[in-house]
Amino acid sequence: MSDAAALKRPKTPAGGRAAGARDRVTKRVVLADPLSVEGIEVLRAAESLEVIDASQKGREALLETLGDAAGLIVRSGTRVDAELLDAAAGLEVIGRAGVGVDNIDMEAATRRGVAVVNAPGGNTRSTAELAFALLLAAARRVAEADRSVRAGRWERKALRGRQLYGNTLGVIGAGRIGAEVARRAHAFGMRVLAYDPYLSAERAADEHLEAVELDELLERSDFVTLHVPLTDQTRGLIGFSELARLKPTAVLINAARGGIVDEEALAVALEQGKLAGAALDVYGTEPLSEDHPLRRAPNLVLTPHLGAATLEAQREVALEIAGAVRDALVAGDLTAALNVPQVDPEERAQFEPLLELGRRLGVVLSALTDGRCRRLEVRYAGSMSRVTRLLSAAALEGYLRSTVASPLNLVNALAVADERSIDVARVHSRRIADYANYVELAATGGPREQVVGGALLEEGHRRLTRIGRFHVDIMPRGNLVLVKNRDVPGVIGEVGSCLGRAEVNIAEYHLARTEAGGEALGVIRTDVPLPRDLIDDLSGLPSVLEVRQVILDPPPGA
Ligand code: NAD
């Protein structure tokens, strides 16, 4: 018997289970990392579950214990890789006590049919409170004052701060945590502005948020707090030019993810007094290096990623994950699963090219609408009626991909859309294009309806065939730049030269127009994604009306 197996719970635990319960079919849940006692009690209270705590036993003992485990609960400390999954042949569900599942090989788990559930809401309040603590600490210069008093000084004038009451807080990203921070700000008598392209008017009204564009938020706010996920769209969201828009008396808080604020730009802004103060809980690289310029920057409060580090958050996360694992094992309820395919594996393989087309169309649509969508219509023609729900989920997965903090997949995409008040409709049409299998996504709710269409050709080849009013024929992969321009001579040359000067190679250039002399659309596949300033350069060309970038296959490591 292994050490870990010896850790089996007693037959009559404090949870009150009858001694005879061991005679029934029990499923073992192994704890690979420590879990708060409240979570353990939830599992123990289920008659058919047995909890084995292997959290202090090291990897080898853990692997031995997993031989007959049906459930596994980890935090960020345990690597759930192919080796571990091989050791756990009977595993049905993995619970991650927290949000991120970076330590779990999702592909390997999915391939083995192991459901993965996480606990996205458990640390919301604690993280919101930390953001608020940072806001107050930066506003009243608490950390600096503490250092000053300890150093023997008494600097009441030099340490004058800002009052929250009557001032304006700008919340960037009004999801779970952003909304909690906003509620606290209201209680302090603050006005709250929000920038979140995915925030519905109803939710903004319910939460008493004034929805504004990013520039307006930066210019009007006295305090700015970030609560967006780190995505292609939010990486470097606050850089030199955004910091320059802030009032010199403003204070910036980031308790979301490192990488959203350009750290060099922030250090310079603080150094030059362009910003009154800032507070950070998260960093591009953690732990923060010893010689990092932020450590020397003035008026800056630094904490070591403490958002979820409270007794209560750990308890709530434990309760949430234990409930999800119990429901999966006892009731077969996999609605919280991040990775469970909803059709049988054979059918799923057959329809995968179609789902991937839906996903990719969703990504293109997302770039066209900036996320402004209240209703998504999935129009289709062809033999796909059995998978239209999955197709809608795939389209939403692509559409929402760059906007959510926790993993998004076929199982949870519809629920996330619902949370964001996006209505989803499926519309079958006998014939909406000259293709046997055709899918069109239409988004309404923004300034105008946006439509993208695509077809699935033989052998699973996908084509992007419609963007707005334009008929195109291009493979939806890699990096696409969509250039809408006036249909006048010389535009292709100008665009090509602009990209050439920036040493960006063009792999494909497709041109479409509705009528001569009207508007035209260039769809350009480039070898690498374009940086923001190059997109600005293209947008500035005389005949160019609009430029959008669609990153369908982000480069590795991006
Ligand atoms: P959430 O998914 O509920 O909310 C994210 C919000 O950001 C959504 O409303 C979304 O519409 C919005 N958004 C997405 N892209 C945007 C963009 N480009 N511009 C503006 N808004 C955009 O997530 P959450 O649970 O509130 O978490 C928010 C952040 O907090 C995440 O980055 C998460 O990783 C981080 N977090 C940090 C800690 C910590 O320890 N400091 C703990 C938990 C969560």
pLDDT in tens, 4-19: 333 333 333 333 333 3
Minimum CA distance residue for ligand 1 atom 1: 175
How many other C-beta atoms lie within 10 A of the C-beta of residue 159? Answer: 15
pLDDT of residue 343: 56
Minimum CA distance residue for ligand 1 atom 31: 229
107 burial type by CB count under 10 A (0-12 exposed, 13-18 middle, 19+ buried): exposed
Report whether residue 305 contacts ligand 1, using a CB cutoff of 6 Å: yes
Task: Report how far ligand 1's centroid is from the alpha carbon of 475 (Å).
Answer: 32
Minimum CA distance residue for ligand 1 atom 11: 198
**Is the CB of residue 324 less than 8 Å from the CB of residue 336?**
yes
Give the CA distances from residue 525 to residues 453, 485, 488, 507, 547, in Å, rounded to whole numbers and listed in that order.
Answer: 18, 17, 21, 5, 13
Please give the backbone phi and psi of residue 352, each rounded to the nearest 5 degrees, phi first: -55, -40
353 CB contacts (<8 Å, ≥6 apart)? 456, 460, 462
pLDDT for 206-220, tens place per residue?
999 999 999 999 999
Report whether residue 422 contacts ligand 1, using a CB cutoff of 6 Å: no
Task: Report how far ligand 1's centroid is from the alpha carbon of 133 (Å).
Answer: 18
pLDDT for 353-406, tens place per residue?
888 999 999 999 999 988 778 899 999 887 776 678 888 989 999 999 888 876
Correct CATH for 124-302 of 3.40.50.720, 3.90.550.10, 3.20.20.100, 3.30.70.20: 3.40.50.720
Task: Report how far ligand 1's centroid is from the alpha carbon of 459 (Å).
Answer: 39
pLDDT of residue 411: 65
Q: Which residues are known to be catalytic?
A: 257, 286, 305
**Is the CB of residue 405 less than 8 Å from the CB of residue 282?**
no
Minimum CA distance residue for ligand 1 atom 32: 229
CA distance 287 to 314: 21
**Is the CB of residue 178 less than 8 Å from the CB of residue 194?**
yes
pLDDT of residue 12: 33
CA distance 373 to 364: 13
Q: Which ligand 1 atom is at minimum distance from the Cα of 229? A: 32
Tell me if the domain spanning 477-558 has CATH number 3.30.70.260: yes
pLDDT at position 408 over 90 = no
**Is the CB of residue 93 less than 8 Å from the CB of residue 325?**
yes
Domain boundaries, given as residue ranges, for the chain = 19-121+313-331, 124-302, 340-468, 477-558
Task: Report how far ligand 1's centroid is from the alpha carbon of 24 (Å).
Answer: 43
Closest CA to 49 of 84, 89, 85, 9: 9
**Is the CB of residue 437 less than 8 Å from the CB of residue 381?**
yes
pLDDT for 241-296, tens place per residue?
999 999 999 999 999 999 999 999 999 999 999 999 999 999 999 999 999 999 99
Pocket test for ligand 1, best of 403, 406, 549 (most atoms within 8 A of CB): 403
Minimum CA distance residue for ligand 1 atom 25: 176
Q: What is the DSSP string of 287-352?
A: SPPTT-GGGG-SSEEE-SS-TT-SHHHHHHHHHHHHHHHHHHHHH---TTBSS--SS-HHHHHHHH
pLDDT of residue 14: 32
CA distance 19 to 320: 27
How many other C-beta atoms lie within 10 A of the C-beta of residue 517? Answer: 9
Task: Report how far ligand 1's centroid is from the alpha carbon of 142 (Å).
Answer: 26
CA distance 268 to 263: 9
Average pLDDT over residues 448-469: 90
- Mean pLDDT is lowest, of 110-124, 225-239, 335-349, for 335-349
pLDDT of residue 22: 41
Q: How many residues does the chain have?
A: 558
pLDDT of residue 172: 98
Q: What percent of the chain has pLDDT over 70?
A: 91
Q: Which ligand 1 atom is at minimum distance from the Cα of 255? A: 41
- Mean pLDDT is lowest, of 32-36, 450-454, 482-486, 487-491, for 487-491
pLDDT for 285-334, tens place per residue?
999 999 999 999 999 999 999 999 999 999 999 999 999 999 999 987 77
pLDDT of residue 23: 46
First to last CA, the chain: 45
pLDDT of residue 76: 84
The SS3 call for residue 404 is coil
Q: Which ligand 1 atom is at minimum distance from the Cα of 405? A: 2
The single-letter DSSP state of residue 505 is P
Report whether residue 128 contacts ligand 1, using a CB cutoff of 6 Å: no
Grade residue 348 by pLDDT with cuts at 50, 70 and 90: low
Task: Report how far ligand 1's centroid is from the alpha carbon of 22 (Å).
Answer: 43
CA distance 506 to 119: 43
21 burial type by CB count under 10 A (0-12 exposed, 13-18 middle, 19+ buried): middle
Question: Which stretch, 3-17, 165-179, 415-429, has highest mean pLDDT?
Answer: 165-179
pLDDT of residue 24: 58
Q: Which two tokens stand for residue 9?
A: 């719970």
Q: What is the DSSP string of 189-256?
A: T-EEEEE-TT--HHHHHHTT-EE--HHHHHHH-SEEEE-----TTTTT-B-HHHHHHS-TT-EEEE-S
Minimum CA distance residue for ligand 1 atom 39: 307
Pocket test for ligand 1, best of 132, 213, 228, 231 (most atoms within 8 A of CB): 228
Report whether residue 259 contacts ligand 1, using a CB cutoff of 6 Å: no
Task: Report how far ligand 1's centroid is from the alpha carbon of 170 (Å).
Answer: 14
CATH H superfamily, domain 19-121+313-331: NAD(P)-binding Rossmann-like Domain (3.40.50.720)
Give the CA distances from residue 352 to residues 48, 343, 456, in Å, rounded to whole numbers and listed in that order.
Answer: 36, 11, 11
Report whether residue 326 contacts ligand 1, using a CB cutoff of 6 Å: no
Amino acid at 488: V
Correct CATH for 340-468 of 1.10.10.200, 1.10.540.10, 3.30.1330.90, 3.90.600.10: 3.30.1330.90
Closest CA to 295 of 274, 261, 271: 271
pLDDT of residue 214: 97
Mean pLDDT of the chain: 88
Average pLDDT over residues 14-29: 56
The reply to whether 340-468 shares the fold of 19-121+313-331 is no
Report whether residue 257 contacts ligand 1, using a CB cutoff of 6 Å: yes
pLDDT of residue 517: 79
pLDDT of residue 102: 78
